[in-house]
Amino acid sequence: MRVSRIRSAVACLAAALLVVTGMVTTASGAAAAAEDDGADCPVSLPGSFPSSAKLPDPFKKIDGTRITSKSDWRCRREEIKKLAERTIYGQKPAKPASVTGTVSATNITVNVSENGRSASFSAGVRLPGGTGPFPAVFVVGGFGADTATIKASGAAVISYDPLAVGKEGTPRNNKQGAFYSIYGSSSSTGLLAAWAWGVSRIIDVIEQSGGSVLKAGALGVTGCSRYGKSAFAIGVLDQRIALTMPIESGTAGVPALRSIPTESGSQGLGNAYGEQPWFGDAFSAYTGNPAGLPVDTHELVGMVAPRGLFIMENPHIDWLGARSGSVAALAGAEVYQALGAGGNISYWSDVQDGTHCASRPEWRTPLQQNIQKFLLKTGTAAGTFRISAKKPGNLAEWRDWTTPVLTDGPGTTTTPTTPTTPAGDGCTAAVSVNQWTGGFVTTIRVTAGATPITAWTVTANLPAGAAVTSAWNAGRSGDTGTVRFTNTGSNGALAAGQSTEFGYQGTGTGTGTTAACATG
């Protein structure tokens, strides 16, 4: 009896450790992330939230303190998830009491039961050549990354019909589809969270299938336009998705919600809320007041970290809000950098063809590289940022927080330098570089010393081969070598100890840049 009790205790402890680390073991023996590895984190949401025109600090917890280690991110991520469910998506329920189904070389069936209600749906499967089991990419609604390239790269295609799970064209008080058959037609959960729930239930079935056809631990998702919104939400809300690839997702997708109203021609928040019940019902309170949101999409980008994320956008159609998309991507990339995973995020809006949801040659190689790295586990290519000059985001305009250097785990590629000018009178310049394959984004924080200043000049010394392509919140003289930046009319006057930021994008390697600040 004593031995039996010990064995039971050991088994319980092992199970608990699996929950805490966010890992489960599939029937095929492969390790896969849990759907929500922070589900055990205690989160208590306040009744109201402070308003801010700036993007919320992704590193600041609800209690006002900032995280200091990479291990803190797990529960901070859960806070962001709960905030997003409360205000943007509506609740995505956990795995129902019963999920069963089958996986074959051509089809996946799903049967769900919860609280006496049941629903069923299915998805098509197309396998690549070769011998399985195969990694797979969910293609939402038939529109996403090029399926020929996906299959040629060695991954299967899962054709997911989100409308079977949550129909469009229905009123908010009478939503239809498999999700709402289980949780009620008047559920306040929007279509994006419902569609994400549907993919999660398919993943449940893949995990249960034994892994003879598809690999549960090697799944990606892609979609374009409204289905790009869906692909993004799926990757945000299920950590078993190893690679998330939203395309031209527009409002309710990647673009920063606070930025959208400032971007000429982009789809307004109220318009998107009214077009379809994509958002949860609670978002109605924020359509005219995005500053009141306690969360924004850059934090949803961060929720995907450190998993693979490849964001593709179209700067030629104003409605899609690509400038706001680059703002969210740049800010969310700060989370990747802080977690030491800066090479796991890519953003690409620098494309020639402006056709909506076109198959673009610029995206083919990075698509292959991402599949190889995150699904096949055979590649090592680092992520890249290619921001179109037509729609460049200005991160410095949208944040008043800095990126911390988090302790434990692998190092971060965000490299703040020590100010090179005195801390007394005058000003200091601190440099932070986000390096990508072939390019970088640099943010420089200018801080006044012990006395106020009325103007500043920062001299940045770039490494050999680096070249500045665009800058924001500063005037610029030069592109390579020693580059001078001067204040604009609105950010030259700083009180003692006050700071402002400017930034620039460049090609080559920005790591190692030094800067000096002078007043006047």
- Give the count of alpha carbons within 13 A of 485, CB side only: 30
Percent helix, strand and coil across the chain, each rounded to 5? 30, 25, 45
* Neighbouring C-beta atoms of residue 299, cutoff 10 Å: 27
Torsion of the alpha carbons at 288, 179, 34 and 20, rounded to the nearest 10: 70
Options 356, 359, 470, 499, the catalytic residue: 356
DSSP run (H or E) holding 219: strand 214-224
User: How many whole angstroms separate alpha carbon 112 and alpha carbon 116?
Assistant: 10
CB 155 within 8 A of CB 371: yes
CB 170 within 8 A of CB 176: yes
Options 122, 209, 225, 349, the catalytic residue: 225
* 103, two tokens: 């996986």
User: How many whole angstroms separate alpha carbon 271 and alpha carbon 264?
Assistant: 14
User: How many whole angstroms separate alpha carbon 461 and alpha carbon 512?
Assistant: 9
User: Taking Cα atoms as reference points, which of 428, 425, 406, 407 lies closest to residue 417?
Assistant: 428
Pairing of strands 241-247, 308-312: parallel
* Neighbouring C-beta atoms of residue 10, cutoff 10 Å: 10
Torsion of the alpha carbons at 7, 10, 12 and 14, rounded to the nearest 10: -140
Which DSSP letter does residue 313 get? Answer: -
User: How many whole angstroms separate alpha carbon 353 and alpha carbon 482?
Assistant: 36
Told to judge if 356 belongs to the known catalytic residues of this protein, a careful annotator would answer yes
User: How many whole angstroms separate alpha carbon 483 and alpha carbon 425?
Assistant: 23
Q: Where are the alpha helices (DSSP H) in 355-446?
A: 361-371, 395-398
Helix axes 226-237, 191-208, angle to 10 degrees: 60
* 132, two tokens: 């399985």
Told to judge if 388 belongs to the known catalytic residues of this protein, a careful annotator would answer no
* 487, two tokens: 């204040």
* 493, two tokens: 């006057």
User: How many whole angstroms separate alpha carbon 377 and alpha carbon 300?
Assistant: 25
Handedness of CA 341, 379, 107, 167 (dihedral sign): positive
User: How many whole angstroms separate alpha carbon 154 and alpha carbon 376?
Assistant: 8
Angle subtended at Cα 66 by Cα 61 and Cα 69, rounded to the nearest 5 degrees? 110
**Which residues are catalytic, by number?**
225, 356
